[in-house]
Amino acid sequence: MDNRELYSIGEVSKICNISKKALRFYDKIGIICPDKISEENNYRYYSKETLLFVPVIKYFKQMGFKLEEMRAFLEGNTYVAHEKGFRAKIDELKKQEEEIHMSYTSVKDWYDLILEAESVIENNATDVSVKYMDAMTTCFLEQDFSYNYMESVINIEWTNYLEQIGKAITGPVVLWFPDYKQKLEGQNTKVRIMQKIIGDCGENPTMTLGGCMTASCYHIGSHKTLGETYEKIFNWTREHGYKCGESATERYVTDYWTIRNSEEFVTEVIIKVTR
């Protein structure tokens, strides 16, 4: 860029790496206006000082400001206008950041569940193992268990409850049975549905799941045959000198939310154990 007094719109486009269409639009909305318009041919000409607004606008765009929002900065000569505008943009971007984090967490956790299920199926990983289950504090909703797994897993009441309390969830659906014997015998029983909450539960009822040693076993196939995996856990724990607790957790790694072929459902059955 030399020391000429004025530059044509074509020269400004090349010097500042910006399209002539954008410069015309900036002129139309009053962001960057030419210093001179030829009466003969209506050509636009810009001074070197005006050219220097282009990098400023590019930086504002990088920060997420809309063109209308930039006008106050370009026209203002006080810190007040900048402070107010930047404070509003920080609040807006913070909200966007939280929304993106929520979406990322949900997608990433679901992706991990798919990888987990694929690995379990590929390796037929259905042996019983004893492991420590990390404690997880979660919101929950207690219901009567209807033995309709599809309705329990894709749970309308649970979805409505989460909307009511303004919470977002991630990870697998988890059903906790206070008495798995009643459930296995087909009796009327209670169940608590829960999922990991993004953030905290606030003042809503919470339950701590885990924080203890458990016997765990993956089940591949329809939920109607989950009883077989319970029996496998009972037999294994008896043989290895463990005592099962009264409650059980069913963690639905993949289910109706992911696929429709029930033979490829993957569920982890978890029961607290002691020596």
Report domain extents, the chain.
6-75, 107-274
Identify which of 268, 193, 195, 190 has the alpha carbon closest to the alpha carbon of residue 233.
268
Q: What is the mean pLDDT of residues 95-111?
A: 95
What local confidence, expressed as pLDDT, does residue 209 receive? 93
Instruction: Look at 79-93, 101-115, 147-161, 176-190 and tell me which has the smallest mean pLDDT.
Output: 79-93
Kindly state the tokens that stand for 193: 């549905």
Q: What's the CA dihedral at 167, 172, 176, 181 to 10 degrees?
A: 160
Q: What percent of the chain has pLDDT over 90?
A: 84
Q: What is the pLDDT of residue 1?
A: 56
> Quick one: which of 8, 37, 12 has its CA closest to 22?
12
pLDDT tens digits along 182-204: 999 999 999 999 999 888 888 99
Q: What pLDDT does 79 receive?
A: 85
Token pair 């967490």 is found at 105
As a whole number, mean pLDDT of residues 113-136 equals 97
Architecture of the 107-274 domain: Alpha-Beta Barrel (3.20)
Query: At residue 4, does pLDDT exceed 80?
Result: no
- Average pLDDT, integer, range 201-227: 95
| Closest of 98, 101, 69 to residue 86, by C-alpha | 69
Q: Between 3.40.50.880, 1.10.1660.10, 3.90.1150.10, 3.50.50.60, what CATH number should domain 6-75 receive?
A: 1.10.1660.10
pLDDT of 23-50, one tens digit each?
A: 999 999 989 999 999 888 889 999 999 9
Q: How many CB atoms lie within 10 A of CB 27?
A: 16
